[in-house]
Structure 1
Amino acid sequence: MSDTGYGDFEFERRFWVRDLPTDVLDGAPTLIVQSYYLADEGFAIRLRAQTSGGTAVLDPSLEPLVVLDTFADRFDFCAITLKGPMNVGTRYEAEREVDVAVGLEMIRRGGSRIVKTRHSSWLGSDGWVIDTFGGANAPLVVAEVERGGPVTDLQIPAFCVTEVTDDPRFSNDALSRAPYGPWAAQFEAELAARGPRFLRGLGTNELEQPREQS
């Protein structure tokens, strides 16, 4: 239960990234493997295992189960989460921590899996997480900001090319069933044809200007 007055509702906005500056990456990334036992029209049951900060950056060619076995002794947190559909940056999420050993075995035994390396960075007035996906979802990179209430009047870093908050294809539960890799070129073509988009109705979007090349 959240202590922000919104119960188990989470507030976040997510952005597709093409070129990520290395100076925004922290030196203590987290390795995450997730398995979805239900993923249907935004409703999901997810089991997540993750390491503490400091794991080496993931080789994006590795599949989730290979990563789970390779780094098994480094996973030190596991939780099961119930999720509802995203609605303009708001989503129901109820989480409970579970035993790590049990969680790892359940991930091995079933569900649709994804793997990613997560970096955390303070940018402007918000804390951001930047996920670099591996396995069939490579080379996807998604930047996400989360607050205790609606994410309004957001300063959006220049490396955030377009917003995917309300694009159901980019939810992690959808990516576990329809990985990004096979449709990456299609998405790039869509983006080139229509241009970037950002949610309206959440205050003012302040877009950072790209850095000049030296």
Structure 2
Amino acid sequence: MTDGGYGDFEFERRFLVRSVPPDLRDAPTLIVQSYYLADEGYALRLRAKAPEVDAPMAPSTDALDTLAEHADAVDLCTLTVKGPTAGGTRYEAEREIDPAVGLQMIRRGGALIVKTRYSAWLGDDGWVIDVFGGANHPLVIAECERTGPVTDLRIPAFCLTELTDDARFSNDALAGRPFGGWRTAFDAELESTGPHFAQDFGRNQRL
């Protein structure tokens, strides 16, 4: 996380996506996360990242098997403490740890998330698009993060609705209550209410 003068806080907006546009399937990274604590927005997370690994995500994707298959490609492990999200802002303190230690810890415990992340530059902002596997398949979330509040955002057309302050879609919540178990209910909810884009972050524009 880049410090823009706000210390250990991150600023982001997040959106539901149905699928990754073909022209944005670049810069893939396999990510496996283990949550040793996830309660009411507070989380303790261990993350392993394997760059340039475009691992297919499906309901049958097993986080530990996928990590084992690509363990040699893991070049970064981080241990992160997070606080609850409020208005697109969240406390996050992060430290790098030795990948060998991180991989062994992930194998030994915690609630797991597996996903492939794609990175793209859209308009004036860098975006990441996460494609989830396992029990969270077929969830896809796009995220824009800045070093300060994410205001006056140009939102790509492939973003269907905003999830920024929907706690159900935080990764720590998804580790304990995967999307696959309530996808049908959410789709019905979205059909009933229609898409929503927050109006308290300045002026939204669509790309």
Give the alignment's TM-score, normalised by structure 1.
0.93
Matched, 1:170 2:186: no
Match of 2:66 in 1: 67
Q: How many residues align?
A: 206
Structure 1: which 5+ runs fail to align?
209-214
Match of 1:117 in 2: 116
Matched residue type, 2:184: A
> CA–CA distance in 2 between the matches of 1:206 and 1:124?
11
Match of 2:56 among 55, 58, 68: 58
Within a 5 Å distance, the mapping from 1:136-155 to structure 2 comes to 136-155=135-154
After TM superposition, give the deviation of residue 35 of structure 1 in Å: 0.3
Q: Give the CA RMSD over aligned residues.
A: 1.2
Q: 1:55 to 1:19 in 2, by over 3 A?
A: closer
Judge which range, 33-42 or 180-189, deviates more: 180-189
Matched, 1:130 2:129: yes
> CA–CA distance in 1 between the matches of 2:62 and 2:55?
14
Structure 2: which 5+ runs fail to align?
none
SS across alignment from 2:103? helix
1:2/1:8 contact within 8 Å kept: no
Matched residue type, 1:44: A
Match of 2:3 in 1: 3
Q: 1:2 to 1:159 in 2, by over 3 A?
A: closer
Match of 1:211 in 2: none
Match of 1:185 in 2: 184
Judge which range, 144-153 or 3-12, deviates more: 3-12
Matched residue type, 2:6: Y
> CA–CA distance in 2 between the matches of 1:145 and 1:169?
18
Identity %: 64
Alpha-carbon deviations, 1:129-174, whole Å to 9, x = none? 0000001100000000000100000000011000001001100000
2:15/2:164 contact within 8 Å kept: yes
1:63/1:136 contact within 8 Å kept: no
> CA–CA distance in 2 between the matches of 1:120 and 1:112?
25
Matched, 1:24 2:24: yes
Match of 2:83 in 1: 84
1:14/1:163 contact within 8 Å kept: yes
> CA–CA distance in 2 between the matches of 1:29 and 1:66?
18
SS across alignment from 2:173? helix
Matched residue type, 1:196: P
After TM superposition, give the deviation of residue 69 of structure 1 in Å: 1.3
1:9/1:92 contact within 8 Å kept: yes
> CA–CA distance in 2 between the matches of 1:24 and 1:59?
16
SS across alignment from 1:91? strand
> CA–CA distance in 2 between the matches of 1:5 and 1:59?
37
After TM superposition, give the deviation of residue 2 of structure 1 in Å: 4.8
> CA–CA distance in 2 between the matches of 1:145 and 1:56?
21
